[in-house]
Structure 1
Amino acid sequence: MLPKKELGVIVFLVIYSVMIRLYHLQAPVNDRHHFRQTDTYAIVSNFLKGNSDILHPKFYQTPNPDNTEGFYFGEFPIYEYFIYLLFRFTGENLVVARLFTIGLTSISTVCIYVIGRKMFNKRVGLASALAFTFFPSSVFWGRAISPDVMALTFFTLSLAVLLAKDAKWAKILSAVFWAGAILIKPFYLAFGLVYLYYFFIEQNLEDKKLTQKRLRNLFSKIILFSLPALILYGAWRLWAGTFPPSTIDPDPLSILHDRQGWWTYWHTSDWITLLFTKHFFGELLTPLGGLLAVIGAVLVTVKHLHLSRFMTVWLLANFIISFTFAWGSWQHDYYLLPWLPVLSLLAGFATVEIVKFFRRLWTENLDGFEYFWRVSALIVVVFFVYFLGIKKFFDYRTDFFEPQGYELYAEDFQYDYQKIAQLIFQGETVVSVQKAYSPYAVNMLRRTGNILAIPENKPCPSEIALFNQIDHLRKLKANYLMIHKIGDAGVACSRQTLNAAMANRFQLIYQGKEFDLYEIKSQLLVVKGTKDQVILTVQNMGIDNTLEVGGIPGSVNTIEVTPSWQKIGESQYQTVVSSGDWLSFKIYWKSPEIQVESNNWFVDKNGFVVKK
């Protein structure tokens, strides 16, 4: 049993950790990284529908169009599955999902207290836990819909259990928690350095000669400790490998350095500078938090040499993550969450030492002049604490909760989502044409979707390029085309321009304030007639259909023929063309299914209708 005083501290930390994160609890998911948050929630949504499970997680966007089932193996979906289990009891509720994340963050807060208490003392543990709770990135992500929070909780649990109890069961439990963190975020493997150094210290190898026997014993311990992580993560990746097009980013090199190479990317992005200016002394910690962490690092080195080595290894592991996954860390600030525990400990240690310093100053007998200068110094400290800490905390918190990037949530959007969802049945796929890549619309619809992004400053793609993409997606089960209103003044490619191109080929079934919806039906070309005269019937292809006619299929000698088409039925048009001197033909830059009902023609492998 914990002493009452200790239990009181833990209860206080849990209550404080929860209360500070209740901000915007019922707000929609349209704040920082709503892209990633709604993707995570989409996995939960598919669990609720019953069309996926923990070994076959699915979401709605399909960055790889060949992934027609919407599989997602970016991480092992244990976080999403826990939320799904909660929803089984409470019903689907965004507040419940956020409270679950807040609960995980509260566990991390207590773990940081335990780690600080074991490494330093209770005061440092308490100050470190409060620092962790105060950091704006911790406040925001500690209530967001994000599996990264669970990965951080597993890691802090692993380290807290390992430090708290010198027992075999504690090491086993610690190894399992670390494996859980790696299953969610593989870069937690880098913290193997921290565990390696822990076992190095445990065997007192700092003061002993490193013989082969001692080194073998050390590495055998870390290998045994790593076995749960290696087995579980290896099994998960082997399983995911049986679904080759299923991950959100099939190109891992882009996550590492945007395919530029690390040295080039570090230069072009100025990532090393941004890591400090934007994050350590910015939104990750606040300027005050970053300053305290630096002071703490210096003071630990001066006062606790052995601990400083452990902290250095811990910091090194974080640097390896941030600079190895450079593009990912620059683009997604939740990749920086692993920094929070070690920086909280350093900031907490600095806070305790600074408070002790000022207490010593005020216990001395002071004359009037000395008293004046010390009061002045205290006022300066309070001034900087307010402007570099408290004020910045609220500024950054506001920034985190502001709708970010491509706004797709407003009332008009919600109205269109509801109407469109009534027209698109479950299991059907929609193509969303937008001015930026964001899965938010398809996540709101809860329909599998492909996104075609046309930036505001770029002209509309040529009809050939655009419809080739749509035809490819149609063959991959896309049933509907949704066009976002991007017709504002000054926009290079307006919705009106896109709609004019679509109206010839697809049926408009919904027109809203923000989105228009077209039905993409299977396109068909029926070929009848003789060698000298062909009767062509097209279905769901519109009235403007040009023929590419040639001798050798696909050669430069082909010519374009635009016959006159007559409407003969719903979405059906027909033409009769003299073809005596033709050797082959096809519908120009369209890829319909071809049905030949004539003994004089056949379809070759290039999609040309060829005369026998």
Structure 2
Amino acid sequence: MIGITNPPLEIAHNWRESIGTMVARNFLEVDANFLFPRLDFNGSKDGVVGMEFPIYNYLIFLWSKVFGYSHLAGRLINLIISSIGIFCFYQIIKIYYKEKTAFYSGIILLSSVWFYYSRKIIPETFAASLVIIGLYFGLNYLYKKEKTIDFVLFMLLAILGVLSKVSAICLLGICAIPFLDRKVPLIRKIAISICGFLLIFFVGWWYYYWNPYLTETYAFPHFFMGVPISQAISDLFNNFALFSKRFYDTALKYIGFFSFLFGLFWSIYKKEKLVIFVFISTSFFLLPIILKTGYNFAFHDYYIIPFVPIMAFVAGFGLSSIPWQKFAIVILFAIGLEGIINQQHQFFIKPDLAKLALLEGSLDQFGSRKDLIAVNSGNYPTALYMAHRKGWITFNNHLKSKEYLLRLKSEGCQFFVILKKSFGTDVDLPLEKVYSDEYYTIYNNTFLK
């Protein structure tokens, strides 16, 4: 629970956390209609934007309606759902294998990249967990002949998970297993198939109709919709070292990855069809994601997250197959230790970044939250979010142009914030300076003579 109340100012991906928290805060302060999520960095415009289905952001909003807005909400919601996801992951493996395999797999997943991202304010582990929890209910429906509520929960959670993050669809490759099992009644296979068609419909509607509609209507082309396959292949080929690193380093770290390779080798050697089939079927679903995202998959470490449970399962199977279980436990301990040590620095905020938490108070001395501002943070919206204002994120070379400054002023910009250490460097503007310290300077929109 260290840093569970921290603002989104960690080293890694604070920009994505800021985007998610912007959306949640705007549901609270502007409009609670989840069909029209809003960001703060579209200047004087509404900021309505196409994005991932904002169920996670909406849960933060609902929490805030009851308990007040805080960064605890986003972190705690993600942590709770991701923890339930690991528990259901453990329970799913127990359907097919001994408790030892499930336990090893769960510990490996817990100490993987999942460990840190399950408490960040972004939807990757949240979405993957919704799908895993849904799979738990779905498999209960198929194998244990549980009530219809299990099917309904599977359908709802799987759809919401994939809507929240399309890459989580790779986990649904597991559904191919019961379809090949003659013990599963045909009527239940048909029910799961209907769920699949509904998922395709809702995901298609949101990402290929509603998102483009919002982008065109509100003129805010922010959301990444992928690249052509030819470009993706070229990007991945040119950045193959970085792409492969997502598997051997980001996912499970080195010891975990070698355990995964051993588990994969052992399953092939022993002809363990279930492990092989799970790996192949989920990889088949992951491939289109890789070919759609291209360089982004290689560059951003969070794209691999939905596939990490599969790698953890294969690694757990491998460790549980080792005859000398004391040796397997030593390896398991080493996997956990390596994973956590390599992520512990992400729980703390650098002093320079921490100072951005004071930006809102500094601006409050000279105006209100309705004032539009411009910040020299480049493509990063973090400082604008911390300022609790709307406006522009821009670059120093733009701000050096008087014509650019005049244009922003004509569009309603009241203050210009120059960051000196985090996200930006110092630059003098021909405007009236109202505040300055070691970390940032605030100008109003009055030009000096």
Per-residue CA shift, 1:275-325, capped at 9, x if unaligned? 44x333323212111111111122223242244223211133234423431
What does residue 331 of structure 1 align with?
A: 299
**Greater helix content:** 2
Q: 1:324 to 1:244 in 2, by over 3 A?
A: closer
Query: Structure 2 stretches of 5 or more lacking a match?
Result: none
What amino acid is aligned across from residue 264 of structure 2 in structure 1?
A
Give the Å deviation of 1:194: 4.3
Instruction: Report matched runs for 1:78-93 at 5 Å.
Output: 78-93=55-70
Residue 518 in 1 paired to residue 407 in 2? Answer: no
Of 354, 359, 363 in structure 2, the residue corresponding to residue 410 of structure 1 is: 354
Give the Å deviation of 1:203: 5.1
| Secondary structure of residue in 1 paired with 2:376 | strand
What amino acid is aligned across from residue 50 of structure 2 in structure 1?
F
Q: 1:50 to 1:89 in 2, by over 3 A?
A: same
What amino acid is aligned across from residue 272 of structure 2 in structure 1?
H
Separation of aligned partners in 2, 1:314 and 1:304: 16
Give the Å deviation of 1:88: 2.4
What does residue 242 of structure 1 align with?
A: 213
Q: 1:476 to 1:264 in 2, by over 3 A?
A: farther
What does residue 139 of structure 2 align with?
A: 163
Q: 1:286 to 1:163 in 2, by over 3 A?
A: same
Per-residue CA shift, 1:41-63, capped at 9, x if unaligned? 1222222224443222222223x
What does residue 394 of structure 2 align with?
A: 452
TM-score normalised to the size of structure 1? Answer: 0.64
Give the Å deviation of 1:177: 1.8
Return 146-155 or 417-426, whichever deviates more: 417-426
Of 256, 262, 267 in structure 2, the residue corresponding to residue 300 of structure 1 is: 267
Residue 113 in 1 paired to residue 90 in 2? Answer: yes
Return 97-106 or 222-231, whichever deviates more: 222-231
Greater Rg over alpha carbons, structure: 1
Instruction: Report matched runs for 1:16-95 at 5 Å.
Output: 22-31=1-10, 32-62=12-42, 68-95=45-72
Separation of aligned partners in 2, 1:332 and 1:341: 18
Separation of aligned partners in 1, 2:247 and 2:345: 16
| Secondary structure of residue in 2 paired with 1:174 | helix
Please say if residues 275 and 314 of structure 2, whose CA atoms lie closer than 8 Å, have aligned partners that are also in contact.
no
**Greater strand content:** 1
What amino acid is aligned across from residue 389 of structure 1 in structure 2?
I
Q: 1:315 to 1:240 in 2, by over 3 A?
A: closer
Q: 1:462 to 1:274 in 2, by over 3 A?
A: closer
Query: Structure 1 stretches of 5 or more lacking a match?
Result: 1-21, 206-213, 363-377, 455-459, 521-539, 544-612
Higher relative contact order, chain-length normalized (CA < 8 Å, sep 6+): 2
Separation of aligned partners in 2, 1:233 and 1:470: 41
Separation of aligned partners in 1, 2:220 and 2:310: 30
What amino acid is aligned across from residue 397 of structure 1 in structure 2?
Q
Residue 198 in 1 paired to residue 123 in 2? Answer: no
Per-residue CA shift, 1:98-151, capped at 9, x if unaligned? 22211111111111112211232322222212221122x111011111122221
Q: 1:280 to 1:148 in 2, by over 3 A?
A: same
What does residue 266 of structure 1 align with?
A: 236
Please say if residues 329 and 335 of structure 1, whose CA atoms lie closer than 8 Å, have aligned partners that are also in contact.
yes
| Secondary structure of residue in 2 paired with 1:340 | helix
Give the Å deviation of 1:25: 2.3
TM-score normalised to the size of structure 2? Answer: 0.85
Separation of aligned partners in 1, 2:330 and 2:272: 30
Of 338, 349, 360 in structure 1, the residue corresponding to residue 317 of structure 2 is: 349
What amino acid is aligned across from residue 449 of structure 1 in structure 2?
G
CA RMSD in angstroms, aligned pairs only: 3.4
Separation of aligned partners in 2, 1:227 and 1:423: 54
Of 406, 414, 435 in structure 2, the residue corresponding to residue 479 of structure 1 is: 414
What amino acid is aligned across from residue 119 of structure 2 in structure 1?
R
- Aligned sequence identity (%): 17
Instruction: Report matched runs for 1:420-459 at 5 Å.
Output: 420-434=363-377, 436-454=378-396
Q: 1:180 to 1:426 in 2, by over 3 A?
A: same
What amino acid is aligned across from residue 433 of structure 2 in structure 1?
L
What does residue 565 of structure 1 align with?
A: none
Separation of aligned partners in 2, 1:218 and 1:468: 66
Separation of aligned partners in 1, 2:295 and 2:412: 33
What amino acid is aligned across from residue 60 of structure 2 in structure 1?
I
